[in-house]
Amino acid sequence: MVEYDFSGQVAFVTGAAHGQGQSHAQHYAKHGADVVVTDIADEMATVEYDLGTSDELAETASLVEDEGQDALALELDVRNEDEVEAAVEEAIDEFGGIDILANNAGIAHFGDLVEMDERMWNEMLDTNLKGVWLCSKHVGKHFVDQGHGGKIVSTSSIYGLSAGPGSGHYIAAKHGVVGLTKTLALELADYDVNVNAVCPTGVDTPMISGVLEAYGEEALNEATDVTGPWNLFDHDAMIESRDISEAYMWLSSDAARYVTGIALPVDAGMLAK
């Protein structure tokens, strides 16, 4: 594991109850950051698998503390601006400031665009795109006000850089994250804020396993019939959350101080095909 130094810094991580968000939180703590861990800790109407729970969010906070760092656990619906603003203010009150925003919260499900229920579209775009904007808006305001820069890293997807059947709402949201990232990078450059996105291939997380259980292998096969096997490395295998966390750590560190406005694939070569 590469050694980064986030001593004295505070990371604000969304969707941190399990999966990639929990991994990101633990990695930030391993490298010396205090961490605000947030999650909706509730179910959503269109999501057919289990989302993170309050107990899992508390477990993430404990993992941060096990690394010798302070944790603040907040239940947060990133779709709700009042909740986002309040959570950012509470984090600043608790720690004195925020240095890193990790926009990880997201959902996934399948549906053809010409048959999709409007509620499914709205929950996807509100969570996976609007939520990234709201958190970036309020943490970004803080970065501007505090005057010594900051880092924003958001999770897009390989489907933020490509397309596939059966998940056009997800693809639209993840393309939107890339556009949002590039625009924020332009708008916040004068304030020394780096803004980047990570674009994973399939990652072995509760979200992916939940989607496969809810929709079956047929939905995945529909996509791979078009794209072929997912990856160049390990073909159909899922990569691990820690692979995405390492990209987050680099983009959050001084090693990437001149990197901004990019969408970084961590995709085992999928897009090279």
Helix, strand or coil, per DSSP, at residue 80: coil
* Nearest residue to 95 (alpha-carbon basis) of 34, 144, 39: 34
Place of tokens 């490509």: 162
- Per this entry, what is the length of the chain? 273
Contact criterion met (CB below 8 Å) for 14 and 102:
yes
pLDDT of residue 237: 72
d(CA 31, CA 27): 6
pLDDT of residue 135: 99
pLDDT of residue 213: 72
pLDDT of residue 1: 62
pLDDT of residue 231: 80
Fold of 10-266: Rossmann fold (3.40.50)
- The pTM for the full model equals 0.94
Alpha-carbon dihedral angle through residues 190, 6, 105, 88, given to the nearest 10 degrees: -70
Catalytic residues: 170
pLDDT of residue 2: 73
What is the residue extent of each domain of the chain? Answer: 10-266
pLDDT of residue 252: 98
Residues of the chain with pLDDT under 70: 1, 212, 214-229, 235-236
pLDDT of residue 81: 98
d(CA 29, CA 119): 37
